[in-house]
Amino acid sequence: MEKNELYELEIDSIAEDGSGIGRLDGLVVFCRGMLPGERGVVRILKVTKSYAVGKAVSISTFSPHRVEPPSCPNFARSCGGCTFCHLAAEEQLTWKRRRVSDCLSRIGGLPDAAALVAPVLPSEPVFRYRNKSIYAFSSAAGGGITCGFYAPNSHRVVPIRETEGCLLENEMSREIRDFTVKYMNAHGISAYDESSGKGVLRALMVRTNHRGAREAMAVLVVHAKALPEMEAYAAALCAALPFVVSVYLCANTQNTNVVLRGDLRLICGKPSIRDVIGSFPGAPSFEISPHSFYQVNPVQTEILYQKAIEFAHLTGKESVIDAYCGIGTIGLIASGHAKEVV
């Protein structure tokens, strides 16, 4: 197998990043954009001793589960925010279940792993569910700045178009993103360029709640020790979008992929936002700060925790140890079903 050469490839599986998996001359080939059951011509971009990476040139046999056009228009422009927008939702669940059983079999050595893994419980809604979004800034083609998500395996930002939005972000996140881009463009603040080391804006992180009074947090990450316009931006943002109750500035001047690295300073509002998990009386509430670990899909989180408690068969007499508890979400949910939680 040679780099840059064309080969015919049939896909029989799919990887976590959405790449189709096929085999040529006994070597595994990953090809983004192709699905199991599809056949086509690929150009080999990379060859190692254990695998190769290819790019689809043409597809002659299409999967019946292919979604065309993809559910999100950003996916067609190589946005890396999602991985399976070209695969039907029901089939996604099938492959996720298979992925878990394969890991239990291959890594865990369980002989009947496929029979042990129950069908995946689907998430509702499928779109606009995330309570946390991190947008990267870049210079716009026509001048000014834009923001979006990185293309796969790169630091090239694929802009989110205002007219289309993003199917991951919820409405509060979208409004904060749109306001921030327009404000920064109106005030001539540039995007940080990794290659030149010039520019200011690196990223915008938005966190939102799911239950209770609407609350959102905005964290602006800059490649500078300070941003003179920050106080004015924070005041304007909170005035325009009253659900924004917390605004931070993160001064990150390091050469790193870690977004919230460096000095983190509260500019306006509260240090955290509050969310509630569960719709039952006495459901616990949680204070979420910029660094808090918190599940990003709030609806599916409640289903996950309910299922975990169901599997634990708690009778109210047990002592539950919540190891690696983070902000204590699982433990507090379990506290109403056990004698004590440690």
Predicted pLDDT of residue 37: 97
Q: What is the DSSP string of 65-119?
A: TB-SS-SSHHHHTT-SS-S-TTB-HHHHHHHHHHHHHHHHHHTT--TTHHHHSPP
| Crossing angle of helices 171-186 and 230-240, rounded to 10° | 140
Cα(82)–Cα(92) distance, rounded to whole angstroms? 12
pTM above 0.75, yes or no: yes
Predicted pLDDT of residue 326: 85
Predicted pLDDT of residue 19: 94
Predicted pLDDT of residue 248: 98
Q: What average pLDDT values come out for the chain (342 residues) when binned by 10 residues?
A: 94 94 94 95 95 96 95 89 93 95 94 92 92 96 93 91 88 97 97 93 98 97 96 98 98 92 96 94 94 95 93 94 90 92 94
